[in-house]
Structure 1
Amino acid sequence: MFQKALKIITTVLLFLVTVHVYGGNGPETTVTFKVHNNTGSAVALYKIENGEAVKLSFRIPSEMDTCMFSFSMEKEGVYFIQRAGGHMPAFNYVIYLKPGDNKSVDIYASKLGLDFDSCKVQSPNHETVILQTWANLFNGVVKLGMNRTKKDEYIIAYNKLAEQAAELKRKTPSNNSFFKKVFTLKLDADLQYARAAAFFHYGERMNSGLDSNSKRSQFYQPIAKQKICNTGLLQSENGLALLKYNLGYQLFQKYGTQEQMLATSFVEKMKMICNDTVRAVYALDRMKQITNYEQFKIDIEPFKKLFTTTDLKQAYQKKVDELTVYAKGAPAYNFSLKDTKDQTFSLSDFKGKVVVMDIWAMWCAPCLAEKPLFKKVEEAFKDRDDIIFIGVSHDGQAKKEVWKNFVEKKGWKNIELLANYDESIGKYYKVEGIPRFMIFDKEGKIVTVDAPRPSDPEFKLLIEQTLQSNSEK
C-alpha cells in the first residue's frame, strides 16, 4: 500500500511542469505577505519539484509593504519563502499549502541580511509547524557541517538530528496520510543528504576536497550501500543534490581518486541509477548544462526512451531546438508586427543594434512584476544608440484596443508590439510560458531565446557581454 502511494506521489511530483505561478487548475490559493521594516526586498516563493526547490515567482511589496501570491492549486505541498536574490545554502522558512488556502505571513527584514530575519505564518496548519521545526533543526546541523574543522562535532550533531527526526515522525498526526508519507520521505532524504554532503564538505561541484579522515570513514559507509533506486529522494529540496553526492561517493570508492570520480561520464553515472523516474530527473538536470548538440547526442539521446510523457517529450524537443534551430549564432526569425500606433516593425529594421525582447501579456502577473525591472535595465543603457528594448504582448489581436490603452496608461515609451501567441514569434520559438526574454545581436543572429529574467543579475550581464562581443567584431 505504501509503495503504491509513493508511486502516485512521485508521479505527481515528476511530471508537474510549472509555466508560472498562476498555471494549473483547482481552487484558488492565496498567500499574503506583510513585510515589516521593508527595505525594498522582494519576496520569492519556491516549491519542491523533481528533488529541488524551484522558484515559482517573486513579488515586490507595495507602498503598503504588502504583496500577494494567488494561484490555482490541485495538490497540497511544501513551499519555501526566501528573500529574492538571496543565495542561501538552505531554506529557512517553510509553509505547507493546501488547495483553497488563504494564508497571511508576517516577514521581518533588515537591510543587510541575505535572507529575512524571520517569517511568521499566521494561524499555521500543523503541517507547517512540523516542517518549520524540522527546518530549524536541519539547517543548524547543515551550517555546522560546512565547517571543515568541526567534523567530529558534526557527526555528534547528525546522530542527534537522526533521533529528532525519528521523534518527529512518531509525533506527526495521522489525519493527513498524504503529508505523513511525504514528510517521512523528505526527512529520510534530508538525513541521507546531510551524510553524503559532509563527505564533500558540502561543495556542490565535489572538487574542493573531501573528508579523508579514516577515523570518520564508518560514518560514511552507509552511502556505499545505498542503491540509487528510491524515488523518495524527490520529495526533498535536497534530493537532486543527494543523488549527485551519492554518485560521487560511490565513484570515489570505485576509482580511489577525486580526479577519476569527476572525470566519469554522464552515461556511466546513469547506469548506476536503477529507477527510470530518478534517471529521467537526472537527465533533465543534465540537459540544463549542455550547450552543444554533439554533447546532447552523447549524453541525452541514448536515454530518449525515458522521456515518456507529453511534458518530458516537450522538454526534450525544446532542448533539441535550443541547440539547433535556436542555437547561438543561428539566424533569428524576422518578425513583422505592429506597435500601438499601427506602425510595422521587423527585426531587420534594427540591424546594427542589439535587440532585447520581453514577451509578456496583460493577464500575466509574473510578467508585470518583471516589467519595471526590464525598464530599469533599459534605463541603464539609455545613452547607447546600439541597443533597443522591445516588448511583445501575447494578448492577441482581439484585445488590440485594450492593449493599446493598457500600454498608454502604464506610460511605456519603448516600442511595444502585439501578436497572437500562436503566430509569429510565439509560433517560431514555441513559446509556451511567459514572461520570456530574448536577445539578438547586431547582425540579427540569436544570442539566446530563453534569457534569464531581469530580476536575475545575469540578464544585464548577458546584455553587456553581447554589446562588448559585437563591438570587438
Structure 2
Amino acid sequence: MLVITELRRKNESMKKLSIFFCLFVSLLSAKAQEFKAVKISGKAINFNNSVEVEDMTEFKDISLSSNERFFVPDSNKNFSIQFKIAIPGYYRIGRNIIYISPGDDINATIDRINPTKSIFSGSRQIENTYLKLTPYPKQGSFLDGETGIQSSIAKTIDYILTKSKERSQQLDSIRRMVSPDFYRLESVRIKADIINSFMNIPIYYSWVHKTSTDSALMIQQQRDSLTKPIIAKLSKGLVDPLHLKLVVYRDVLNTILQNQPSTFSIPQKINDWFKASAIKQKAITLDNKNDLIALYKGIDSINTDVYKNAIASTIAQLTQLNQGDPAIDILFTNTDNQTIPLSNFKNKVIYLEFWATWCGPCLADKPKMELLKQQFKNDDSIVFLSVSIDDNLDAWKKYLIKQGVSKDEFIVDRNKLSNYNLLSVPRMILINKDFTIEQLYAPGPGNKQLIPLLTKMRLKP
C-alpha cells in the first residue's frame, strides 16, 4: 500500500506542469468556443480493432489523436461513443467521411470494407448519406485509382469532368435539405477533387498504360496543356480559411494559391495553418525533449489562437515523455487481481507489450512474444510484460486460460496511459534497468532488430 501511495504522489507531481498547461489552453479556448456533446451509436461492421472517430478538419494536421474519440465494438458489433466539439466539421470512421455538428445524436451502421453500404439515421442523415460517395483523395479522387484512366489523356480529363458533374447533380438534389455552409463546402470539395484528379493523371496513366520512364515528361506536359485553363478557372475565389476543413482542399491548396493573381495576399489564418502544420510535421520526427521545446519559438509568429493553442498542446503532449526520461509509473492488475506497479521491475530491462484480445495484429504477435520469453527465460536481467488494454476483464482472462499463459500478464485502463500517447495497439516500449525510457516505439517481438537491442541493453549497468 505504501508503494502505491508513493507511486501516486510521484505521478501527481510529474503531471502538475502538463495539467496546468492543459487547463490554461482550455481556458483560452473556452472564451471563444462553447463545446457541446456529440453522440454516435450503432453497429461497426468488419472492424477487428479499436476504432477512431478521426478528425479530418485542418486540426488533423496540427493536433494528435484523442483517446476520447476511440471506441471498441462489443461482440455484437454494437458501439456508442460521446465526445465534445465546438464547431461543425468532418470526421471519419473507417472509410466513411461523416459531418458532425455540436449536439448531434447520430445513429450509424458503418461498414469498413463497403463504406457505400453504411446506413445513417438521426442527426445529419442527409449529409452523411450523401458523403458515402465521397471520392478518396489518395486514390486520385474522381480517377478512383486506375478505374478512371481512359485510352488518352484528353478522354481521361473528360471522364473526370463527367464524374464531377454527376457529383454536382447529387449535391444539388439535397441543397434545400442541408445548411448553406455544408453545401458551400461540398461545392468546394468537388472543385478540389477535380484539381486533385488532374494532378494524379500522370501517376495512374503511366501505370495503366505501362508507359516508359522517358514518356513521363510528355504525359505531364500534355496533362498541363489541357488542364491549366480549367484549374485556373476553378481556383478563382477558392482561397478561404473555411475550406481548410476539407482534406482534399488542403492537398491541392498550393496549386490553388499558384493560380491566384500576383497581387493576391494569402489570408492570415491560412498562413498560420501552414506554420502550425509545419511545426507538427517537424515535432513528430523528434525524440529529444530539448529539440521539441525549441519548437515553441515558432509558435510566437502564429496569430490565430485556435491554431496556436492546438500546436502548443501538441508539443506539450510530445514532451511529456521522451527517450532518456524517467519512465512514468503505471499500476497494472495481474491475473490474481493484484495491483502491481511498473516500478516493481526496476533494475531489469523491461519490454512492454500493449495488446488486446480484439486486436488481430496483436494476436498474431502473441506466439512471437511467447517464443521471446522462452528465449530469455534463464536471463533474470530482462522481463517481458504483456499488458492488455481490454475493457472486458472476462474476455482477457478467458483468452489467457485458453492459451495456457498467466505469468507476467497484466491488464490496465487505457485512459491511464495518456503519458505514453498509447493510441493504438500493438505497441511496444523498452525501458532501461535504471527505469529510463529507451524506446517509446520499440520493435515488435518478431522484429530482427529486437534481439541485438535487448542484448545491448542488458549489458548496461
1:71 aligns with 2:73: no
1:216 aligns with 2:224: yes
Percent identity of equivalent pairs: 9
1:332 aligns with 2:326: yes
1:257-306 CA deviation, whole Å, 9 max, x = no partner? xxxxxxxxxxxxx9999532344244334433445568768877434442
Correspondence for 1:128:
128
RMSD: 5.3
Distance 1:387 1:375, change over 3 A: farther
**SS of equivalent to 1:158:** helix
1:317 aligns with 2:316: yes
The structural deviation recorded for 1:103 is 2.7
For 1:381, which of 356, 369, 387 is the aligned residue? 369
**SS of equivalent to 2:444:** helix
Count residues with an aligned counterpart. Answer: 375
The structural deviation recorded for 1:30 is 0.5
Distance 1:94 1:459, change over 3 A: farther
Correspondence for 1:103:
108
For 2:387, which of 391, 395, 404 is the aligned residue? 391
1:117-153 CA deviation, whole Å, 9 max, x = no partner? 9624266932233223454998552424886985333
Distance 2:281 2:275 in 1: 10
Letter matched to residue 371 of structure 2: D
Structure possessing the higher radius of gyration over alpha carbons: 2
Contact 1:190 1:236 in 2 (8 A): no
Correspondence for 1:154:
156
Distance 1:198 1:80 in 2: 26
Q: Within 5 Å, which residues of 2 pair with 1:66-465?
A: 66-72=76-82, 74=84, 78-82=90-94, 91=95, 93-96=96-99, 99-105=104-110, 107=111, 115-116=113-114, 119-121=117-119, 125-135=125-135, 139-144=141-146, 150-177=152-179, 178-198=181-201, 212-214=220-222, 216-220=224-228, 222=231, 230-243=240-253, 275-290=271-286, 301-306=297-302, 308-309=305-306, 310-319=309-318, 321=319, 326-328=321-323, 330-333=324-327, 335=329, 339-340=333-334, 342=338, 345-347=341-343, 349=345, 351-356=347-352, 358=354, 369-370=358-359, 374=362, 377-384=365-372, 385=376, 386-391=382-387, 413=406, 414-416=408-410, 429=419, 437=427, 439-443=429-433, 444-449=435-440, 451=441, 460=444, 465=449
Unaligned runs of 5+ in 1: 1-14, 17-23, 83-90, 110-114, 251-269, 360-366, 396-402, 452-457
Distance 1:295 1:448, change over 3 A: same
Letter matched to residue 103 of structure 1: A
The structural deviation recorded for 1:164 is 3.3
Distance 2:51 2:129 in 1: 20
Correspondence for 1:49:
56
Contact 1:192 1:242 in 2 (8 A): yes
- Which stretch shifts more, 336-345 or 175-184? 336-345
Distance 1:417 1:43 in 2: 16
Distance 1:379 1:25, change over 3 A: farther
Distance 2:412 2:50 in 1: 30
- Which stretch shifts more, 150-159 or 440-449? 440-449
Unaligned runs of 5+ in 2: 1-28, 207-212, 260-265, 377-381
**SS of equivalent to 1:460:** coil
Distance 1:469 1:136, change over 3 A: closer
Distance 1:462 1:176, change over 3 A: farther
TM-score, normalisation: structure 1: 0.58
Letter matched to residue 26 of structure 1: A
Distance 1:343 1:30 in 2: 33
1:60-115 CA deviation, whole Å, 9 max, x = no partner? 673xxx41331125566545454xxxxxxxx5x5555662122335x4x9xxxxx4
Distance 2:283 2:290 in 1: 12
The structural deviation recorded for 1:441 is 4.5
